[in-house]
Amino acid sequence: MERISAPSADALIHAYGPRGFAQPINASIESWLAPYEPILRRLVPVLIVAFLVVMGAGAALQIYNSRIDALAAVQNDIATAASAVDADLNYRVTLTDGDLATAAQMALDLSAPRVGAHPGRIMLATDATGIVVAAMPAAARRQFLGKPVAPHLVRPAGTIGTDYVQLGSGAQALMAVRPLPQPLAKLYVIQTVDDALANWWRATLLTSTLFATTGLLLLVIGIAFHIQTMRAAIADMVNHNARATIDAALESGRCGLWDWEIGAAQMFWSASMFELLGMAGREGLVTIDELQPLLHPEDSYLGGIASMTGLDPEAAVDFQFRMRHAEGRWVWLRARGRGLAVAGVPYRRFVGIVVDITEQLELARRNAAADHRIREAIETVSEAFVVCDDRDRIVVCNSKFRELNGLSEEVARPGASYQEALAAGGGAKVVDGRVLGNGARDGARDLEVQLADGRWFQISERRTHCDGFVSVGTDITALKRHENQLTASEQRLRASVADLQRSQYALEMQTQQLAELAEKYSEQKTQAEEASRAKSEFLANMSHELRTPLNAIIGFSEILKDGHFGPLGVTKYGEYARDIHDSGHFLLSVIDDILDMSRIEAGRLKLDPRPTQLDDTLEETMRVVSKMAEDKAIIIEAEVPQDMALVADRRAVKQIALNLLSNAVKFTPRGGMISVRARKARGVIAIAIEDTGIGIPRRAIDKLGKPFEQVQSQFSKNHKGSGLGLAIAKSLAEMHGGSLRIRSTVGRGTTVVVRLPVAGPVPQAA
């Protein structure tokens, strides 16, 4: 194979100039008529038959017309002859005084040669009785002279002209009748049709002969053309099938066919070549204007072929180049061909196959990359690795294998004998070893060997499907040392097991004691829970019992305070009545809180979740505490969006907000500020109540929310309260599936955040 390299494909354009591919190739008449060839093949026989039919019809028409013309000429001739003889007879009869028959015969004998004595023509002269008195020619005298005229020849008196008659012999004849002067009667000039058409028959025979000869010749030519056409059609079909087979083979193999007439600057591409480049399917010649943009600028093999002085048919040309696909990408092609000399063609030709090798090159690149990665992976493994073929020759090995056996890269090169390489190495010396398992299995075995330097290696050998083998040597020195340590540890473990067995009895005894303690703990827990329930029930009962007299105290104090039944008389009594009324209300609120807390702890408080408008609920709550806030000149700001709805117990939500706002007003100094905000996000509504009050120490925040817990600051001691407000608010929030969180800084204020689910209390929390 010969590799071609050339400066550039521009040399091809420069070499052939405008007479090369730069000009479009003129189509010949044959190529122009090629699309009409099937029509012409069918049209020529039809034209021949049509020509024969037309020519035959013309000849028949000509023969028929010439017969009519011949008969008309004969009729005119006998009519002329009858007129001439009639005039001559009249002249001679008037001059004759003797025998009338003799004079008539003499007139016929003298006149007949002048008017033309044609073969088959008879002239008869009759008298008044219809007897023939003169006849011409001599044969007619012997036949008709002295005899009456046949009845079918008799014409009425005064009849003149020509007519067709039937002779006694059956022959058809033309007859002209002329009246003669007395004593003669009529002149008959009779011409048989056969004799009249003698010349016509000779002309007809000649015309028929010429037509038959010409028709036969054209018929032979048509048959020969049809045979040749059938052969051409069969040849075309064979050629088409052959080309279709070649095209199918080329397309299946992703190949294209080139036929390059280098001297004539003509290059033929098969249809598969166009499909190979993603171009519109066609088949034919390609110009250099089409070819040049498709060639890669760095690939100039075509110009090299064009610059060759000769293409040796015995030397194959093999080269690779790139061409642009219709999609814009470059396609690698491999052209294999040779020179071809064709008789009668003066140009050098390059004929070959072009194969798409893009996938092959890409596969080769991937294989090379994969092989490189495999070699790198083999090189990076910590084990000694070697692969041999079926002849025990090294295919690949890593540096660990060479280092273990003291081999150089040259000695352990691919293709070297495995046994010879080990014999040449000065590496590991085996002092001990054993075969692992029950023996060889399909040529595979595992060995453990100890080297002279004290290292241990486990060697695993496996046969490959091509009868080679793979050997992997793993350094197990550390494992062996660990194994020895495990053996020593086992002995120590046995001693420890004995100690553990002795300790087991002691543990069992301790377990029994723990079980007894757990049982006592369970009893005490049950008692504590019962005591807690009893406390809650007691508080609930006591709260109920206290509410009855307390309501009477509040009612009577209100009557005294307002003076419904008249003034008390002493102002101090009114002040005492107001104190009793305020203290009663405070005690009632404490009792209500205790009652609510006891119901919550006893589990008797049930929520009634319904769709609730949070903004309306908070607005009602703020109106309740507004009087307390105004008394202390505290400003309450609200930032609650409109139409913020959730599913909750409206009374519980209002109680939560009221407890938190009451605490904020209670522990905020005069002139402070309280802000109420609400936000909805991710299915949760967060209510934040922030004040500028005294704040809560960090260590006390964890205690808040528990029943009866208060912040015992110097300021809080001046404020009355049961310590249940936050506990109730927290418990109600948790019953809704929410939470309550407190953030506070001493001297700066407190922020309480309550989070409630929008969808309502979850069943677990309820």
CATH code where residue 740 lies: 3.30.565.10
What is the reported pLDDT for 400? Answer: 82
Task: Kindly state whether residues 642 and 652 are assigned to the same domain.
Answer: yes
- Distance CA(495)–CA(501), nearest Å, equals 10
Cα dist from 97 to 38, 94, 185, 618, whole Å: 89, 8, 17, 176
Task: Kindly state whether residues 296 and 407 are assigned to the same domain.
Answer: no
What is the reported pLDDT for 227? Answer: 84
554 belongs to a structural domain? yes
Task: Kindly state whether residues 465 and 487 are assigned to the same domain.
Answer: no
Task: Kindly state whether residues 137 and 91 are assigned to the same domain.
Answer: yes
Asked if 223 and 45 count as a contact pair (C-beta separation under 8 A), the reply is no
Task: Kindly state whether residues 347 and 329 are assigned to the same domain.
Answer: yes
Of 236, 252, 268, which one is at a domain's C-terminal end? 252
Task: Kindly state whether residues 141 and 262 are assigned to the same domain.
Answer: no
What confidence tier does 156 reach under pLDDT thresholds 50, 70, 90?
low
Mean per-residue pLDDT for 6-28? 39
Burial profile 636-673: b = 16 or more Cβ within 10 angstroms, e = fewer: beeebeeebebebbbebbbbbbbbbbbbbbbbbeeebb
What is the reported pLDDT for 15? Answer: 41
653 belongs to a structural domain? yes
Range of the domain at 398: 381-475
Mean per-residue pLDDT for 558-576? 74
What is the reported pLDDT for 19? Answer: 35
372 belongs to a structural domain? no
Mean per-residue pLDDT for 72-96? 73
Mean per-residue pLDDT for 497-510? 83
Q: Is the pLDDT of residue 220 over 80?
A: yes
CATH number of the domain within which 323 lies? 3.30.450.20
Task: Kindly state whether residues 612 and 678 are assigned to the same domain.
Answer: yes
Of 252, 272, 304, which one is at a domain's C-terminal end? 252
Q: Is the pLDDT of residue 498 over 70?
A: yes
What is the reported pLDDT for 8? Answer: 44
Residue ranges with strand state E in 72-120? none
Of 561, 581, 605, which one is at a domain's C-terminal end? 605
Asked if 186 and 177 count as a contact pair (C-beta separation under 8 A), the reply is yes
Task: Kindly state whether residues 358 and 505 are assigned to the same domain.
Answer: no
Asked if 200 and 66 count as a contact pair (C-beta separation under 8 A), the reply is yes
What confidence tier does 253 reach under pLDDT thresholds 50, 70, 90?
low
**Which of 4-13, 87-96, 323-332, 361-370 comes out lowest in average pLDDT?**
4-13
Between 249 and 226, residue with greater pLDDT? 226
Q: What is the tally of structural domains in the chain?
A: 5
Asked if 598 and 731 count as a contact pair (C-beta separation under 8 A), the reply is no
4 belongs to a structural domain? no
What is the reported pLDDT for 757? Answer: 92
Q: Which of 349, 286, 348 is nearest to 323 (CA)?
A: 286
What is the reported pLDDT for 152? Answer: 59
Task: Kindly state whether residues 148 and 179 are assigned to the same domain.
Answer: yes
Whether residue 24 has a cis bond before it, omega within 30° of 0? no
At a CB cut-off of 8 Å and minimum separation 6, what does 368 contact?
none
Task: Kindly state whether residues 349 and 386 are assigned to the same domain.
Answer: no
Mean per-residue pLDDT for 307-335? 77
Task: Kindly state whether residues 414 and 511 are assigned to the same domain.
Answer: no
- Distance CA(529)–CA(522), nearest Å, equals 11
284 belongs to a structural domain? yes
CATH number of the domain within which 426 lies? 3.30.450
Average of per-residue pLDDT values in the chain: 76
What dihedral angle (degrees, nearest 10) is formed by the CA atoms of 476, 477, 481, 487?
40
What is the reported pLDDT for 364? Answer: 87
What is the reported pLDDT for 17? Answer: 37
What is the reported pLDDT for 755? Answer: 92
296 belongs to a structural domain? yes
What confidence tier does 469 reach under pLDDT thresholds 50, 70, 90?
confident
**Above pLDDT 70, what percent of the chain?**
76
5 belongs to a structural domain? no
Tens digit of each residue's pLDDT (9 = 90 or more) over 425-445 = 766 677 777 777 655 566 678
Tens digit of each residue's pLDDT (9 = 90 or more) over 106-150 = 777 777 666 656 777 788 888 777 788 888 777 777 777 777 876
pTM to 2 decimal places? 0.36
Between 152 and 514, residue with greater pLDDT? 514
Task: Kindly state whether residues 466 and 528 are assigned to the same domain.
Answer: no
Tens digit of each residue's pLDDT (9 = 90 or more) over 183-202 = 777 788 887 887 778 788 88
Q: Measured on CA atoms in the order 544, 545, 550, 551, is the torsion positive or negative?
A: positive
